[in-house]
Amino acid sequence: MRIVVAECTVDYQGRLTAHLPRARRLIMVKADGCVAVHADGGAYKPLNWMNAPNLLEEGDGTWVVTNPKGERLVITLHDVIHDSTFELGLDPGLQKDGVEANLQQLLADRPWVLEDGLTLIRREYPTDIGPVDLLCADPHGGTVAIEVKRRGEIDGVEQLARYLERLSLDPRLRPVRGIFAAQQITPQARTLAAARGIAAVEVDYEGLQEVDSGELRLF
């Protein structure tokens, strides 16, 4: 990972245009190529970013980041205060709590409760940015990536969208679509999921645990 602190301006051209005026910011370049520009606030969300795959070209005081969609992020460095690179190594991934891990296992054993005809391919299917919880096949030959949360919020939808982007690069898996599964899903997460073409499904944890019941309940 490369970490740069600099006085900079940032311009984005793509689905829309956006401009960040000159200010001191943190720029992160991750090993997968993702570039993110952060302010000293706003929690985890960057002010602007470009997901991998992309191309970063460094000129004299200017970084130009482009991706296959033709989107372009231009970072003009007016004053570089700090520039360091660190090798973080392989990350083991997020360790889920007991309920979330059990929910994932229950859905892995019964993926058809999320959608008729789904069959499990693999749990924790690896991508180059981390593993997706469940990878399934639908009856029509498509691939379905499923992210499981106890509480479904916007960051979980964003996480699944990134996985879908990476999985879709593999011709063996295309077409790939997503299901966001959680015990509770916030209205904001539902709205974002719909905008990204991701199905959002609330699941009943207690109902899934009723192994003696002949009918498993989603809601």
Task: Report the C-alpha gap between 42 and 198 in whole angstroms.
Answer: 26
Q: Where does 98-209 sit in CATH, by number?
A: 3.40.1350.10
Q: What is the CATH number of domain 2-85?
A: 2.70.180.20
Q: Spell out the long-range contacts of 46-54 with Cβ–Cβ below 8 A and sequence spacing 24 or more.
A: 47/10, 47/20, 48/10, 48/12, 48/18, 48/20, 48/73, 49/73, 51/162, 51/165, 52/129, 52/166, 53/169
Amino acid 33 reads: G
Q: What pLDDT does residue 58 have?
A: 94
The residues, ordered by sequence, that sit 6+ positions from 169 with a Cβ below 8 Å of its Cβ are 53
Rounded CA separation 42/52 (Å): 22
186-214: per-residue pLDDT in tens?
999 999 999 999 999 998 877 776 644 34
CA-closest candidate to residue 147, choices 216, 94, 187: 94
Cα distance between residue 160 and residue 163, in whole Å: 5
- pLDDT reported for residue 96: 55
Domain ranges, ordered by start, for the chain:
2-85, 98-209
- According to the model, what pLDDT value does residue 43 have? 65
- pTM recorded for the entire structure: 0.56
At 219 the pLDDT is 37
Q: What is the C-alpha separation between 153 and 193, in angstroms, rounded? A: 10
**177-189: per-residue pLDDT in tens?**
999 999 999 999 9
Strand, coil or helix: what is 151?
Answer: strand
136-178: per-residue pLDDT in tens? 999 998 999 999 998 899 999 999 999 999 999 999 998 999 9
Per-residue pLDDT tens over the stretch 36-91: 999 988 767 889 988 888 899 999 999 999 988 889 999 999 999 999 999 887 76
**pLDDT for 33:** 85
- pLDDT bracket for residue 93 (50, 70, 90): low
